[in-house]
Structure 1
């Protein structure tokens, strides 16, 4: 499967970086995923909604999150994400900025304007790396803004951070 992913997505630096990181952690450092996985005392599995218009990227991020011990849902655009959040709210949303129809900034603002989702943790993950783009994402209400390519550790640390801030003891 890894060779298939490399062949299909070779032009994307982000995906190649993720594949390299997964290979590194899985083959070179057995047990590295354990520190991101829930331990025996922590039976809570957090539900993460990954919103991105690129199916291969959604799948890859989903696999990374599942390796980290999270339950994953996927949406291909902003409108689908809002419907899914309304029906079955996740614990965190990982949101791409550049999507057709409804972009991530609009989704973020919509979630923040709704009292039931106003405090839902949002991690933006985008190829827009300019300072203005990061500022716009944070101003829209994102808790974190990660620039692609983001490493596995960056993503997992960001999730742990936003979950620790919003978790109810």
Structure 2
């Protein structure tokens, strides 16, 4: 896995840009994808250490993308953080059932994003 690369899958370019700037300031490299199909193609080639995915996207939603990642041997161990403007208990549970390691509601505080992502990556590397 590419140890400092994070894939951001979100159909909102402003969100992708904000998350990219936040992650790059924390020492990560960020790649963006505008939909789930694009993200799936990037995942298999780039093999990032983590992915941040919106729940609702065109072509393939975040739940489907998460399931795909967890069923792909080369990337199944990466940290996955779901983000959404919808924080209903059902959606959070569905994201975790799909294989996400964590869930953040939009708007996202940059410090919370980086902290949560670093924790998830550490846990994945330690096998926790």
Q: Normalising by the residue count of structure 2, what TM-score does the alignment of the two structures yield?
A: 0.92
Partner Cα distance (2:61, 2:100) in 1: 13
Quote the Cα distance in structure 1 between the aligned partners of 2:56 and 2:90.
14
Give me the CA root mean square deviation: 1.5
**Could you report, residue by residue, the CA deviation over 1:119-142 in whole angstroms, capped at 9, with x for unpaired residues?**
121000111110000000000000
Q: Which residue in 2 is equivalent to 1:124?
A: 82
Q: Structure 1: which 5+ runs fail to align?
A: 1-43
Does structure 2 conserve the Cα–Cα contact (< 8 Å) formed by 1:108 and 1:141?
Answer: yes
Aligned equivalents of 1:87, 1:45: Cα separation in 2: 14
**Count of aligned pairs:** 125
The answer on 1:145 being equivalent to 2:115 is no
The structure carrying a bigger strand percent of its residues is 2
Aligned residue for 2:114? 156
CA deviation vs aligned residue, 1:29-80 (integer Å, no higher than 9, x gap) = xxxxxxxxxxxxxxx9611111100111101110111111111111111111
SS at match of 2:31: strand
For the 8 Å contact 1:45–1:69, the answer to whether it is kept is no
User: SS state of the match for residue 167, structure 1?
Assistant: helix
8 Å contact kept, 1:92–1:121: yes
Unaligned runs of 5+ in 2: none
